[in-house]
Amino acid sequence: MNRDQLAKILRAASQITGDRKVLVLGSQSILGVGDADALPRKATMSSEADLAFFNDEDRHKADQITAVLDEMTPFHDLHSVYAEGVHVSTAILPEGWMNRIFTTNIEGSDPAEPYFLDPNDLVASKLSAGREKDHEFCASVLDAGLADPKTVAEYAKELPQRYSKKVSAKRNLDRHSPTSGTPSLVSLSFPNQSKNQRRRARTDGVNG
């Protein structure tokens, strides 16, 4: 997904729900960070954006997004990207993450006012998921200098307990080396997950 495609999702989401304030969760929240042309390819490979709304207690807006913008909808067929509506409470993120979100202008997203995760929160969350694609995502973000290893390590301690235990480093994150052929992030140990466990994790919550 690129920023132009995200703009189409944001514009449609705001028009469908009548809510300008759209929070981008999941990996494609990285599209709100810095220069779009400088984003590493492995950080933007997903074609899905997870969207939530601050005022959506009954989850009606999330359901609207899923019904109209999800995978295998006409929107997906037309734009080759899609969005899933989620509730903000399902986000698996470090304590205090809501105080660190930010908004930035995404050209073409009007009338949406998009909000994005602090990239350190996002990487900490992805580390807790521990899937190979999350591993690659985190390595690419750290490699590009979009997140700070020490900050990520601190934020990871503030994940909900059942997830923070999954983030186990054999070596310090701050030894991640952008210039090495094999980033030291590879030394992070992740739990082995079966397909059924990953499927349950998807329904339990959103990893950043």
Amino acid identity of residue 180, one-letter, is: S
Structure tokens at 20: 């300008």
Residue 68 has pLDDT above 80, yes or no: yes
CA distances from 10 to 1, 113, 147, 160, 198 (A): 13, 8, 24, 29, 27
Q: What are phi and psi of 122, to 5 degrees?
A: -60, -45
Q: Is the pTM of this model over 0.85?
A: no
Distance CA 194, CA 20 (A): 38
Find the mean pLDDT for residues 184-206.
43
Find the mean pLDDT for residues 187-208.
44
The confidence score (pLDDT) of residue 177 equals 45
The confidence score (pLDDT) of residue 166 equals 60
Averaged pLDDT score across all residues of the chain: 84
Residue 205 has pLDDT above 60, yes or no: no
The confidence score (pLDDT) of residue 130 equals 76
| Residue where the block lists tokens 């514009």 | 11
Residue 55 has pLDDT above 90, yes or no: yes
The confidence score (pLDDT) of residue 191 equals 38
Residue 48 has pLDDT above 80, yes or no: yes
Of the pLDDT bands very low, low, confident and very high (cuts 50, 70, 90), residue 5 is very high
Residues 176 and 183 sit within 8 Å (Cβ to Cβ): yes
The confidence score (pLDDT) of residue 109 equals 97
Residues 153 and 164 sit within 8 Å (Cβ to Cβ): no
The confidence score (pLDDT) of residue 131 equals 84
Distance CA 144, CA 27 (A): 15
Distance CA 40, CA 105 (A): 20
For residue 57, what are the contacts with CB-CB under 8 A and spacing of at least 6?
none
Find the mean pLDDT for residues 111-135.
92
For residue 128, what are the contacts with CB-CB under 8 A and spacing of at least 6?
92, 156, 159, 163, 164, 166, 167, 207
pLDDT tens by residue, 161-179: 767 666 654 334 544 544 4
Q: Of 11-25, 72-86, 150-164, 168-182, where does mean pLDDT reach its minimum?
A: 168-182
Residue 52 has pLDDT above 80, yes or no: yes
Number of C-alpha atoms within 13 angstroms, CB side, residue 109?
A: 27
